[in-house]
Amino acid sequence: MLEKTLTAGGVDLAYRMAGEGPAVICIQGVGVIGHGWSPQAEALAGRHQVITFDNRGIGRSGAGAPPLTIEAMASDVLAIMDAERIERAHVIGHSLGGLVAQQVALAARQRVRSLALLCTFADGAAPGKLSLRMAVLGLRARVGSRAMRRNGMIRMIMPPEYLR
């Protein structure tokens, strides 16, 4: 996988490319580096040019000046496409990356060949509201043994009725 960096909107963005063919851009969710797409990138690289990247403030990408917006993150995707001379791409977004992918499609519809939204939502405001419960569960998903972190994540994303 070829590792690259570009500066867009005053922010250094780290990204990776693998394979040849129609472009696929994978946009990760909150707190996950672009390498989180490695299994999918490896599977797709035989038929596609796969691009993964670290969102602003994650991994090797710079944070930039606040506030961090979905629009700025979508501009980052388009900047990577511009740098690589990609006219159209399949765009995949997971969680927060789904919001970014939607904004890319809204801002530059002609550049999106297809749109895949994975475990995401249409509006970032509602799930983004911090509550004591979500803060505690978020902490549990990041601290402790692997089993404890997994349990914290499951409790954060699954409704209580399902867990019973």
Dihedral sign from CA coordinates of 133, 70, 118, 47: negative
3-state SS class at 93: strand
In Å, what is the CA distance from 68 to each residue of 46, 62, 63, 74? 34, 12, 8, 11
Average pLDDT, the chain: 89
Residues 6+ apart with CB under 8 A from 82: none
User: What are the tens digits of pLDDT across the range 48-104?
Assistant: 999 999 999 999 999 988 888 999 999 999 999 999 999 999 999 999 999 999 999
The two three-digit tokens of residue 159, written as one number: 């409704």
* Backbone torsion region of residue 31, taken as left when φ is above 0, otherwise alpha when ψ lies between -120 and 50, otherwise beta: left
0.85 surpassed by pTM: no
Residue 42: CA count within 13 A, CB half-sphere: 4
Percent of the chain whose pLDDT exceeds 70: 94
